[in-house]
Amino acid sequence: MACEQYIQPDTLKELVTGLAKMTSDSVILAGGTDLIIKLRSRHMNPDCMLSLCRVPELKSISESGGYLRIGAMETHDNIANNTLVRKECKALAMACSHVGSQQVRNKGTIGGSLGNASVAGDMLPVLVLFHGLVEILDSAGKTRKVDAQEFTLGIGRTILQPQEVIMAVWLPLQSHRESCFIKLGGRREVTIAEISLAFSWERSGQHFHKIEGVLGAVDTKPIYLQEVDEILEDRKVGKYEMDLLADSLSKRIRAIRENRKRQPRLRIQECEKVYKERAVKGIVYDALEIMMRKTDKKSKNI
């Protein structure tokens, strides 16, 4: 790996100037935890690398006009430990606290994760759950905001143009709502999601209202789950509801497998093909158990 030009702007103005030099062969360096592996394993030599680590405007978590604004260069560790995020968007804090290892969380950023657009990424499902926006800066210095749901186009592809960069993500503040995120991977820590599930809800007594859910890592994009509210709305959740939801998600995952045109690159066994549609039951149980726990919003344990 070698790049012809390495640009590391110190200010927003320099960043805009730098963006103008980017071509379709250029890369943007956020934390580097995905990019450096990609460049080395594919022997890529980009013509230009734009490093974002010194631009102060890309770092900060603040409240602004009914939204929580998180700078693109905020690390997973910072987000996971931020009081405002933990209070307002617990699902995001939960997701961030289980990305990779401590070293990855210290360096990996929310903007980098979104830009990398891995289908197993943990950030996008949460953003979709909260109906978040992605703020994009271009080489003219203009910004625009797009719906998180529209940001990703598929595996590793986003709507970002070569001369654009993610500035921040915006999440609407909804203090009356609670949320959670959970993922299933091959191991407990340092694991990549095989299935991820995020819920948000309003609580009254033992009942839930206006429940929203997003399923991640099973298709090329996160899936918004319309059926969650139909199944759980105003009900006391028991085994019947849990199984109903698990069945429904299992059917969804089966449909994705059956409709897949591209054959899997790896040779996988018959039982592995149906793994996710069976394993989803466990993660539904786990997520609903978290929901049913009467949580203190200030609780430190996530």
Task: Say if residues 118 and 125 touch (Cβ distance below 8 Å).
Answer: no
Q: Is 296 near other proteins (CB under 8 A)?
A: no
Q: Is 40 near other proteins (CB under 8 A)?
A: yes
Q: Is 3 near other proteins (CB under 8 A)?
A: yes
- Nearer residue to other proteins within complex by CB, 106 or 174: 106
Q: Is 102 near other proteins (CB under 8 A)?
A: yes
Instruction: Name which position in 12, 44, 84, 104 contacts other proteins (CB under 8 A).
Output: 104
Instruction: Name which position in 36, 140, 155, 268 contacts other proteins (CB under 8 A).
Output: 36
Cβ at position 73, least distance to other proteins in Å: 11
Residue 5 CB contacts under 8 Å (≥ 6 apart), including other chains:
21, 47, 48, 49
Residue 194 CB contacts under 8 Å (≥ 6 apart), including other chains:
120, 183, 184, 185, 186, 217, 275, 276, 279
- Cα(11)–Cα(55) distance, integer angstroms: 5
Cβ at position 97, least distance to other proteins in Å: 9
- Nearer residue to other proteins within complex by CB, 39 or 223: 39
Task: Say if residues 19 and 138 touch (Cβ distance below 8 Å).
Answer: yes
- Residue 248 backbone zone (phi > 0: left; psi -120 to 50: alpha; other: beta): alpha
Task: Say if residues 127 and 72 touch (Cβ distance below 8 Å).
Answer: no
Task: Say if residues 73 and 86 touch (Cβ distance below 8 Å).
Answer: no
- Nearer residue to other proteins within complex by CB, 83 or 206: 83
Cβ at position 32, least distance to other proteins in Å: 5
Q: Is 51 near other proteins (CB under 8 A)?
A: yes
- Cα(175)–Cα(42) distance, integer angstroms: 45
String of b and e for 253-278 (b: at least 16 CB within 10 Å)? bbebeeeeeeeeeeeeeeeeeeebbe
Q: Is 101 near other proteins (CB under 8 A)?
A: yes
Task: With CB under 8 A as the rule, give the number of residues binding other proteins.
Answer: 27
Instruction: Name which position in 21, 54, 257, 281 contacts other proteins (CB under 8 A).
Output: 54
Instruction: Name which position in 12, 32, 184, 275 contacts other proteins (CB under 8 A).
Output: 32
Instruction: Name which position in 43, 176, 186, 189 contacts other proteins (CB under 8 A).
Output: 189
Task: Say if residues 181 and 79 touch (Cβ distance below 8 Å).
Answer: no
Interacting residue ranges for other proteins, rule: CB under 8 A: 1-3, 6, 8, 29, 31-33, 36-37, 40-41, 49, 51, 53-54, 77, 100-104, 106-107, 189-190
